[in-house]
Amino acid sequence: MSYYVYMMASKRNGTLYTGVTNDLIRRTHEHREGVADGFTSEHDVKNLVWFEEAVEARSAIQREKNIKHWSRAWKISLIESENPAWRDLYNDIVQ
């Protein structure tokens, strides 16, 4: 089974959310549709801007925790190292 650490954004340089899941397509869809009440629906955070895969849940959860403790500048740098235009990657993962 694969696990994913991901970041969602409201827009370029907007509000960021970091999460972990074992089903990136389903979880991203939930954020986009506002299905789950909480931070992302309250702040209109709907764009998948970065993700990485892990083979173990424990390592994915630890990576999520580490990223959540990083400064905003480090998070932006991570996003822009792989997605400089802040493209919404959702369509890439559903194909």
Alpha carbon dihedral 71, 54, 87, 8, in 10-degree steps, equals -50
Residue 37: predicted pLDDT: 78
Number of domains in the chain: 1
| CA dist., res. 55 & res. 13, Å (int) | 29
Low-confidence spans in the chain with pLDDT less than 70: none
User: Which residue range forms the structural domain that includes residue 27?
Assistant: 3-94
Residue 36: predicted pLDDT: 75
Q: Position 78: which residue type? A: L
CATH of the domain at 70: 3.40.1440.10
Residue 95: predicted pLDDT: 86
Residue 11: predicted pLDDT: 97
Question: Which backbone phi and psi does 68 adopt, to 5 degrees?
Answer: -60, -25
Question: Which backbone phi and psi does 85 adopt, to 5 degrees?
Answer: -90, 0
